[in-house]
Structures are given as structure tokens and as C-alpha cells.
Structure 1
Amino acid sequence: MKQIKVLGTGCRNCEITAKIISQAAAEAGVEIELEKVTDIAAIMGYGVMSTPGVVVDGVVVHSGGVPGPDQARAWVREGADSAG
């Protein structure tokens, strides 16, 4: 199962980002574990200075704005086909 974290303080853009990722996973039929990280020290620990940030399986893949739906679909599908 893919682990995805949305890094941010709970602002509107962070909430939108979480929704986009959840929707992309549902559309793709991929099960994910989505976690919202709101602790500033934890966010900075990933080196993210501008939120929202997105971490997929421990790797920062995005920061500084709301990702597009195509980006989110790519994150949830990446490796899903071979994850049998």
C-alpha cells in the first residue's frame, strides 16, 4: 500500500491537496494510506519550506502549491501495476 503524506498546517490548499489525492486513488482503484502532517518541525524535517507538500513512500514529490489532478493520478498509480 502506498503511503502518502500531505505536509501543511491545515490551510485550504492543504485540504484541497488531500482531496485531490484521495479522489485520484479512488478513481484508480488504488488503496493508499493518506496522512496529514501539520507539525511544523516534521514538515521542515522533509526540507519543505512552502506548503502544501506531498511525500510519497518517504520521498518529497511536490511542494509549494496545489498539485494538478494528473500529478496526483501519477503518484497513486506509480508502481501500482507491478505491486501484485
Structure 2
Amino acid sequence: MDYSYPLRIDWTTNEIISVTAFYDVVEKGYEDGVERAEVIRAYREFKTIVPSKSEEKTLFKEFEQASGYSSYQIVKAAQEGEDGQLIKGKQR
């Protein structure tokens, strides 16, 4: 990984850990695939820290620009998927 996660300086250590865990889940979705339930859990935790849709979009965009991975596509696939499903992102 040769990029930095988009984080905010006003977040607590625990919030940074939770958001970082969400980004890690997105990466796993593109690299190896990730269980749907893991994506849903990580996204729910992310939303407790970033409840604003506009801030979510900003962070998703920053993360995609840095990593090439779309958080939106992974979350969307998980929300539309079924229990036990393996979520995999599609490289562009």
C-alpha cells in the first residue's frame, strides 16, 4: 500500500481505528473478496463516525483517488447481496 487513508484530525483514536478498519474491508473486497456481513458491520460502524452523506461521499472520493478502490461499489454490492455472499470489487 503506497497511499494514506483519508482521515480527519478531529477524530478520536477509536474513530480512526474504526474508519481504518472500514477502508481495510474495502481493500479486501478488491484484493481477495470479503464476507457481506463484514462489509455491512464495518459500514455501520463507519456511519456512526461519519453520519453526513456529503462527508461520506467526500471520504469515499478521497479514498478512491488514493487507492483506486471504490468504497461505494463494495457497500452497494453488500447491501444488494445475500447473507453469506462473498463481495468482490471489480477493477477498472
TM-score bracket for this pair, using the shorter chain length: 0.3 to 0.5
Q: How does the TM-score come out when normalised to structure 2?
A: 0.31
Q: How does the TM-score come out when normalised to structure 1?
A: 0.33
Q: Which structure: greater helix fraction? A: 2
Q: Which structure: greater strand fraction? A: 1
